[in-house]
Each structure stands twice: as C-alpha cells, then as structure tokens.
C-alpha cells in the first residue's frame, strides 16, 4: 500500500489523502496532530517499562499549522508543524485508522 495523494484544501485546514488500494478520506490537521504517535505524545513501552508523557506543553494554534510533510521510505509520512514538533512517523495503516475514526 502506498500513499498516492496528500493535498490541502486551500480554503480550510483539511487534507485529502488517497492510497493506491482505493482508500481516500479527508482529515483535519488538528486530528492529525492530536493523534501524533511519537513517544512524547503517546508514550511508549520498552522492555516492560512504560513511559507516559506528562503533556506539559499545551497545543496552541501553531500546533495545528503544517509546514511540510515528507514521505519516509515506503511506509510512513512525517509531519513538520509550525510549533517545531516533528517526531511522529505515521505509517499508512495508522493514517487510515485515524482518518476512519475522525470521519
């Protein structure tokens, strides 16, 4: 499965995504950011130790402004937000999952 389209609606902060398996959806930048899969946002578990983020930095308007996006290999996309956050890698299955739950 590959991402074939990632395009912003010029009038909104909503993105249209399309995959080569026929899946397509619209998703708001806010939904993408709030579902960031990085350890700093969602936590992680390594060798039976669980890290839970403190979420000390509140999301602000700049947190939902996408500066750029880059395809990572053949499996994910990385978003670079105006507030400097850029550590989440969204694999294709996860992108489809968050699109489906935000419809």
Question: CB under 8 Å to 84, separation ≥6 — which residues?
Answer: none
* pTM passes above 0.95: no
Domains of the chain: 3-101 (3.30.2020.30)
**How would you write the pLDDT of the chain (103 residues) with one tens digit per residue?**
899 999 999 899 999 999 999 999 999 999 999 999 998 888 878 777 777 777 667 889 999 999 999 999 999 999 999 999 999 999 999 999 999 987 6
């Amino acid at each position: 499965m590959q991402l074939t389209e990632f395009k912003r609606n010029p009038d909104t902060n909503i993105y249209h995504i399309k995959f080569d398996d026929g899946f397509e959806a619209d998703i708001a930048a806010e939904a993408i950011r709030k579902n960031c899969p990085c350890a700093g946002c969602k936590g992680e578990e390594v060798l039976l130790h669980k890290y839970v983020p403190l979420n000390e930095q509140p999301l602000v308007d700049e947190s939902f402004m996408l500066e750029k996006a880059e395809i990572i290999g053949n499996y994910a996309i990385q978003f670079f937000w105006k507030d400097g956050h850029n550590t989440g890698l969204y694999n294709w299955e996860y992108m489809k999952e968050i699109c489906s739950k935000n419809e």
